[in-house]
């Protein structure tokens, strides 16, 4: 009996997805709840589990197809077993042919996305010898590139003299092009960012922050903090709490426009931009204004790990009243971040570097960071934006303000 596997509910307001890759091919054994396909939504990749145990049947759609919630993806034959060739047939086959078939079969059992398969063919590596670091041990393009690099750096035995090149050989130093279809997530990122520029009156204000006090506090308490809370004390916790002070004092920065109304929030849900294999995602630290440093750091660390593993959910990224994006981890000195609609403001953090500054009439070297606040000028006046950024600066330069709510 064949059971249909349908596109599951993908989250609030999400009605369709793109088939990213098939994790099971027709004839493969499938366990109950074992993922058989990966779907790409606007924000996350979603694994589709098998509702029954059996054998993978027919794929009803292809990789790259757009499917709606409830559509049939494939069938699973319940209670079956993977098809196998009779033992007698194997014994009758000539030895060289049997060896070739076994080798190909081993390689085919490695689940690879189109991008990974292209990399395997391009670099001539054996996928069965590579340990995957992706979800459920799947190969990623980075795994293949690392294996290819390792292979190139390994001294090889002296090859036999190669025949002279023929006229049909490809010329050295050729210029190639590759066309790769944008993932649904990348398409959505592009649309949302362009939409933000088209619909909002974007403006950015800058300031710089002396990070001496925060660095000193981290150095002094990092070991005790890690021992007590089992989490590393990072910079993001400081900026999240400093932002909460600013959003409380300047409510418009924590609001958004809906039609001809302004929606204000009496809570702070901070979207934190983290890097994922398919692009930038923004999971939400909810009620950041009510959480302590340890819980904020734990939430962010958990989001980062799950973003790399591809296990973030739609719920993790829904909502959010304000965004913090840290380009400094990639070495950015200064940038003008774009707001995350329908939010009205985003805080951009950048790298810390020693710079000469004047303190009490003396030139001293201090660890400085440029910070930027991009905002929707339709809702937030320049005075309010500058005030909010100044509050964040003062809280970072004097962390005691975060303890006594100044």
Q: Are the CB atoms for 13 and 83 separated by under 8 Å?
A: no
Cα→Cα distances 4→14, 50, 72, Å: 21, 9, 6
In a 13 Å sphere around the CA of 146, the CA atoms on its Cβ side amount to 10
The dihedrals phi and psi of 127, each to the nearest 5 degrees, come to -65, -20
Angle at which helix 212-229 crosses helix 293-309, to 10 degrees, equals 80
Answer yes or no: 377 catalytic: yes
The dihedrals phi and psi of 55, each to the nearest 5 degrees, come to -120, 135
Nearest to 367 by CA among 205, 223, 214: 214
Q: Which of 123, 229, 265, 377 is catalytic?
A: 377
- Where do we find the tokens 């689940």? 111
Nearest to 306 by CA among 35, 349, 298, 130: 298
Chain length of the chain: 406
Q: Which of 33, 108, 381, 398 is catalytic?
A: 381
Q: Which two tokens stand for residue 220?
A: 């002094």
The span from the CA of 235 to the CA of 233, in Å, is: 7
Nearest to 385 by CA among 395, 397, 396, 371: 371
Q: Which two tokens stand for residue 256?
A: 């958004």
Q: Are the CB atoms for 374 and 336 separated by under 8 Å?
A: yes
Contacts of residue 101, defined as CB under 8 A and 6 or more positions apart, other chains included, come to 93
Residues 379-388: b if buried by 16+ CB within 10 A, e if exposed: bbeeebbebb
Nearest to 351 by CA among 375, 335, 374, 373: 335
The span from the CA of 218 to the CA of 212, in Å, is: 10
Q: Which two tokens stand for residue 273?
A: 């931009």
Nearest to 231 by CA among 285, 294, 305: 294
Instruction: Return the bridge partners of 316, or none.
Output: none
Q: What is the CB neighbour count within 10 angstroms for residue 101? A: 13
Active site residues: 377, 381
């Amino acid at each position: 009996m064949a059971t249909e596997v349908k596109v599951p509910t993908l989250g609030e307001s999400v009605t369709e997805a793109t088939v990213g890759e098939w994790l099971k091919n027709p004839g493969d054994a499938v366990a109950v709840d074992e993922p058989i396909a990966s779907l790409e939504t606007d924000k996350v990749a979603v694994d589709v589990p098998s509702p029954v145990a059996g054998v993978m049947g027919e794929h009803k759609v292809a990789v790259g197809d757009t499917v709606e919630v409830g559509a049939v993806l494939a069938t699973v034959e319940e209670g079956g077993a993977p098809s196998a060739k009779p033992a007698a047939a194997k014994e009758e086959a000539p030895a060289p042919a049997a060896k070739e078939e076994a080798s190909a079969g081993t390689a085919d059992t490695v689940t690879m996305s189109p991008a990974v398969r292209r990399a395997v063919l391009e670099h001539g590596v054996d996928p069965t010898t590579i340990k995957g670091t992706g979800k459920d041990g799947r190969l990623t393009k980075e795994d293949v590139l690392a294996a290819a690099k390792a292979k190139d750096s390994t001294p090889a035995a002296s090859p036999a003299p190669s025949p002279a090149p023929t006229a049909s050989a490809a010329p050295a130093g050729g210029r190639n092009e590759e066309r790769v279809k944008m993932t649904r997530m990348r398409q959505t990122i592009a649309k949302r960012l362009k939409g933000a520029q088209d619909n909002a009156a974007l403006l950015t204000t800058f300031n710089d922050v002396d990070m001496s006090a925060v660095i000193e506090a981290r150095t002094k308490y990092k070991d005790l903090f890690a021992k007590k809370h089992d989490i590393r004390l990072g910079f993001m916790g400081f900026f999240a709490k400093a932002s909460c002070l600013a959003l409380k004092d300047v409510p418009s920065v924590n609001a958004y426009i809906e039609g001809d109304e302004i929606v204000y929030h009496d809570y702070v849900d901070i979207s934190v931009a983290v890097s994922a294999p398919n692009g930038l995602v923004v999971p939400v630290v909810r009620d950041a204004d009510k959480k302590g440093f340890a819980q904020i750091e734990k939430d962010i660390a958990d989001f980062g790990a799950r973003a790399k593993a591809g296990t973030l959910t739609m719920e993790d990224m829904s909502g959010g009243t304000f965004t913090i994006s840290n380009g400094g981890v990639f070495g950015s000195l200064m940038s003008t971040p774009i707001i995350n609609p329908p939010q009205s403001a985003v805080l951009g953090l950048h790298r810390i570097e020693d710079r000469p500054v004047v303190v009490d009439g003396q030139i001293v070297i201090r660890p400085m960071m440029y910070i930027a606040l991009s905002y929707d000028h339709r809702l937030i006046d320049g005075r309010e934006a500058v005030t909010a950024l100044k509050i964040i600066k003062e809280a970072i330069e004097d962390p005691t303000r975060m303890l006594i709510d100044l």
